């Protein structure tokens, strides 16, 4: 497979990053991945203009890739808009200390969700400059920090901000989805193919 537009756009990686060694296979091409994943990876390539390394690593397991893509699709069909999902992804990545997801969602947040630098900085700190989104991001961050053991006041705060019971579950779905990718990348030490982002804080 020739270099794709996504990789071409994200080829400039900071040279100060510490050396790393990927610990799981990253298929170099779609054809090098398991045959059962080819259709899904081709669809990703068509949608994003390339196949990020996260998808290549997850493709080692056709079941894991299918589950991840189906969960992603379900999240996209839920009650949270794309910008709020990206905000949550940034907060969760920062808290879990996932450099790959932090870089990916900073890039996607700007390019796809049209988040500005001030908003991305707020999201990475577990907040938002948008009053309603702020409640969702703060709740998501609390779920990560407290391992789901949030208090009545924290649940009431997100409900009072205008989120329904269904949307609270959509926030939890976004947390779970991003926690999965955070853990995949940390276990695999996935090679970074997005512009590097310096973490703001230590992992939760």
What's the rounded mean pLDDT across residues 114-134? 97
pLDDT tens, position by position, 41-51: 999 999 999 99
Question: Can you give the residue range of the structural domain that contains 104?
Answer: 82-188
**50 and 86 share one domain:** no
**161 and 92 share one domain:** yes
Question: Where is 176: in which H helix or E strand?
Answer: helix 165-188
Q: Residue 170 and residue 174: Cα distance in Å, rounded?
A: 6
pLDDT above 90 covers a percentage of the chain that reads 86
146 three-class SS: coil
Spatial contact of 7 and 39, defined as CB atoms under 8 Å apart:
no
**114 and 184 share one domain:** yes
- The answer to whether residue 202 is domain-embedded is no
pLDDT above 70 covers a percentage of the chain that reads 88
CATH of the domain at 177: 1.20.1290.10
- The answer to whether residue 102 is domain-embedded is yes
**86 and 176 share one domain:** yes
- The answer to whether residue 16 is domain-embedded is no
**72 and 87 share one domain:** no
- The answer to whether residue 194 is domain-embedded is no
**67 and 151 share one domain:** no
DSSP letters, 25-84, are ---SSTTTS-GGGHHHHHHHHHHHSS--HHHHHHTTSHHHHHHHHHHHHHHHTSSS-HHH
Per-residue burial over 139-156, b if 16 or more Cβ lie within 10 Å, else e, is bbbbbbeeeeeeeeebee
Q: How confident is the model at residue 158 (pLDDT cuts 50, 70, 90)?
A: very high
**86 and 172 share one domain:** yes
What's the rounded mean pLDDT across residues 133-145? 98
- The answer to whether residue 203 is domain-embedded is no
- The answer to whether residue 196 is domain-embedded is no
**94 and 158 share one domain:** yes
Residue 70 in this model has a pLDDT that exceeds 80: yes
Computed over every residue of the chain, the mean pLDDT equals 91
Q: What is the structure's pLDDT at 204?
A: 53
- The answer to whether residue 20 is domain-embedded is no
Q: Report pTM.
A: 0.88
Q: What is the structure's pLDDT at 6?
A: 43
Residue 189 in this model has a pLDDT that exceeds 60: yes
Identify which has the larger pLDDT, 1 or 183: 183
pLDDT tens, position by position, 2-22: 334 444 333 333 333 445 689
**154 and 181 share one domain:** yes
**39 and 93 share one domain:** no
């Amino acid at each position: 497979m020739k270099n794709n537009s996504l990789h071409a756009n994200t080829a400039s990686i900071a040279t100060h990053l510490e050396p790393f060694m990927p610990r799981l296979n990253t298929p170099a091409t779609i054809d090098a991945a398991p045959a059962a994943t080819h259709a899904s990876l081709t669809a990703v390539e068509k949608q994003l203009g390339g196949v990020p390394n996260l998808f290549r690593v997850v493709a080692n397991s056709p079941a894991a890739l299918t589950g991840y893509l189906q969960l992603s699709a379900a999240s996209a069909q839920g009650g949270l808009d794309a910008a709020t999902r990206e905000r949550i992804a940034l907060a969760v990545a920062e808290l879990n200390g996932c450099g790959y997801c932090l870089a990916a969602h900073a890039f996607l947040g700007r390019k796809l969700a049209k988040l500005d630098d001030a908003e991305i900085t707020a999201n990475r700190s577990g907040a938002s400059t948008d009053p309603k989104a702020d409640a969702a991001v703060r709740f998501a961050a609390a779920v990560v920090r407290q391992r789901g053991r949030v208090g009545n006041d924290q649940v009431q705060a997100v409900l009072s901000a205008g989120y329904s019971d269904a949307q609270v579950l959509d926030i939890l779905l976004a947390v779970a989805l991003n926690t999965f990718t955070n853990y995949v990348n940390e276990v695999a030490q996935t090679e970074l193919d997005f512009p590097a982002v310096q973490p703001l804080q230590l992992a939760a």
